[in-house]
């Protein structure tokens, strides 16, 4: 019985090796180098943020870009597509995906055997494309994007063949994860704010864990965020790896003022925290600000720090 089991295992291994030898797998759809930029603008009348994305494919990319997706929180509306592209919602409506669906002719010498044809409107290496647009009531924050290059999967004769092909070529699992991923701006359930610790100091900001007094922090205003709407009494500051921010590292209420610390024309809210109660340790590399607006919307912000005068 043991010899029979070994024989069957050997036959299965030989069969799989034969499949590997006979199967030509398509290249993974991640042979692209791309820069994704996002712009978010707030309409004060509708209170909707319009998000516009631009894809710039590096000249050294191997594949044309034929798919672009953005994860988001909340809901979106007013979705627009570049020419030759179409959109759809995935994962119960938490990701919007654009696809270059308008097909072009196959290149000379390539026979149409039912595989996915090339796109007539891809983002080619060295080119850029904009027009990926939607609107949302949610403010901008860090979200994930997904980009795919053109990688046609040949047709299979049956579902069993397709299953075997997917196994051999490693095509199982999340389609989005097989492409190129990164971080961009998109709708989130909190407001992501920029902060400046000890303005106008540049990051990483030097912090002495033993220093006394108060540490000033500016919450920066912008075209999409009014710093005067922050609820000062809701603010807490602590190390970036802190899981709990308690009353000890709350802002000093009454020591807050509006001023333009970075001279960009937008008022910034400067608040102060008791330095000894922030809880900075010599191993910390960032400080995290948490709080809410006066309307109750959560805000988050962080900045890199560098501890100084630490005892070994």
> What pLDDT, on a 0 to 100 scale, did the predictor assign at position 218?
96
Q: What is the pLDDT of residue 81?
A: 97
Does residue 57 contact residue 32 with C-beta atoms inside 8 Å? yes
More confident site: 258 or 158: 258
How far is it, in rounded angstroms, from Cα 162 to Cα 172? 11
Decide if pLDDT at 30 tops 50.
yes
- State pLDDT tens for residues 105-154: 766 666 555 556 778 899 999 999 999 999 999 988 878 889 999 887 77
Q: Please enumerate in sequence order all residues whose Cβ is within 8 A of that of 261, keeping only pairs 6 or more positions apart, or say none.
A: 196, 199, 200, 218, 220, 268, 270
Q: Can you tell me the distance from the alpha carbon of 73 to that of 189, in angstroms, rounded to the nearest whole number? A: 6
The b-or-e profile of 266-285 (16+ CB within 10 A means b, else e) is: ebbbbbbbbbbbbbbeeebe
More confident residue, 113 or 188: 188
Q: Are 128 and 122 in contact (CB under 8 A)?
A: no
According to DSSP, the residues that pair with 88 across neighbouring strands are: 97
DSSP run (H or E) holding 276: helix 275-278
Average pLDDT of span 271-285: 84
Do the domains 191-307 and 27-187 match in fold?
Answer: yes
- pLDDT: is 142 or 219 the higher one? 219
Phi, psi of 219 (to 5 degrees): -95, 115
Is a pLDDT exceeding 60 seen at residue 13? no
Q: Does the pLDDT at position 38 exceed 70?
A: yes
Residue 305, pLDDT > 60, answer yes
Q: How far apart are CA 310 and CA 142, in angstroms?
A: 33
User: Which of 41-50, 56-65, 154-163, 219-228 is predicted with the least confidence, judged by mean pLDDT?
Assistant: 154-163
Distance CA 68, CA 35 (A): 12
From the list 292, 299, 159, 187, the residue with the least C-alpha distance to 232 is 292
Sheet arrangement for strand 195-197: 195-197, 214-219, 268-274, 257-259
Q: Highest mean pLDDT range out of 24-38, 151-165, 215-229?
A: 215-229
Q: Is 191-307 assigned to CATH 2.60.40?
A: yes
Please give the pLDDT value at position 241.
Answer: 45
**Choice between 184 and 5, residue whose per-residue pLDDT is larger:** 184
CB 243 within 8 A of CB 220: no
User: Could you give the percent of the chain with pLDDT greater than 90?
Assistant: 41
CATH label, 27-187, candidates 3.40.30.10, 1.10.10.1200, 3.50.30.30, 2.60.40.1170? 2.60.40.1170
Task: Give the phi and the psi of residue 278 in degrees, each rounded to 5.
Answer: -70, -35
DSSP letters, 132-167, are EEEEESSPEEEEEEEEEE--PPPP-SSHHHHHHHHH
Concatenate the DSSP letters of all residues of 221-260 into one string.
-BTTB-GGGB-GGG-EEEETT-S---GGGB--TT--EEE-
Between 112 and 86, residue with greater pLDDT = 86
Show me where the domains of the chain are located.
Answer: 27-187, 191-307
What angle (nearest 5°) sits at the alpha carbon of residue 187, between those of residues 241 and 249?
Answer: 30
pLDDT surpasses 70 at 244: no
Higher-confidence position of 166 and 49? 49
CA-based Rg of the chain, rounded to a whole angstrom?
Answer: 26
- Express as a percent the part of the chain with pLDDT over 70: 82
Residue 240: pLDDT band by 50, 70, 90 thresholds?
low
Confidence of residue 6 (pLDDT cuts 50, 70, 90): very low
Taking 80 as the threshold, does the pLDDT of residue 64 lie above it? yes
- Write down the pLDDT at residue 28: 83
Q: What is the mean pLDDT of the chain?
A: 83
Above 90 in pLDDT, residue 52?
A: yes
Where is pLDDT greater, at 230 or 103? 230
């Amino acid at each position: 019985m043991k010899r029979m089991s070994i024989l069957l295992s050997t036959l299965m291994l030989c069969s799989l090796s034969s499949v590997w030898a006979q199967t030509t797998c398509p290249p993974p759809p991640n042979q692209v180098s791309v820069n994704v930029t996002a712009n978010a603008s707030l309409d004060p009348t509708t209170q909707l943020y319009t998000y516009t994305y631009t894809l710039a494919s590096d000249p050294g990319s191997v594949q044309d870009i034929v798919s672009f997706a953005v994860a988001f929180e909340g809901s979106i509306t007013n979705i627009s597509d570049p020419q030759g592209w179409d959109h759809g919602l995935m994962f119960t409506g938490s990701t919007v995906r654009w696809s270059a669906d308008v097909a072009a002719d196959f290149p000379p010498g390539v026979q149409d055997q039912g595989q996915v044809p090339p796109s007539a409107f891809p983002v080619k290496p060295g080119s850029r494309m904009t027009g990926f647009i939607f609107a949302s009531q949610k403010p901008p924050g860090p979200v994930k994007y997904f980009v795919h290059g053109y990688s046609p999967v040949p047709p299979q004769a049956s579902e069993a063949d397709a299953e075997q092909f997917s196994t051999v070529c490693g095509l199982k699992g999340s389609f989005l994860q097989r492409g190129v991923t990164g971080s961009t701006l998109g709708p989130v359930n909190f407001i992501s704010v920029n902060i400046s610790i000890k303005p106008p100091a540049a990051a990483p900001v030097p912090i002495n864990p033993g220093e006394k007094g108060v540490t000033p922090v500016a919450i920066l205003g912008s075209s999409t965020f009014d710093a005067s709407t922050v609820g000062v009494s809701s603010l807490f500051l602590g190390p970036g790896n802190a899981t709990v921010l308690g009353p000890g590292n709350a802002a000093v209420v009454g020591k807050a003022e509006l001023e333009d610390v970075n001279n960009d024309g937008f008022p910034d809210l400067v608040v102060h925290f008791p330095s000894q109660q922030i809880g900075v340790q010599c191993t910390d590399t960032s400080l995290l600000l948490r709080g809410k607006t006066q309307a109750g919307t959560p805000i988050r912000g962080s900045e890199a720090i560098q501890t100084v005068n630490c005892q070994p």
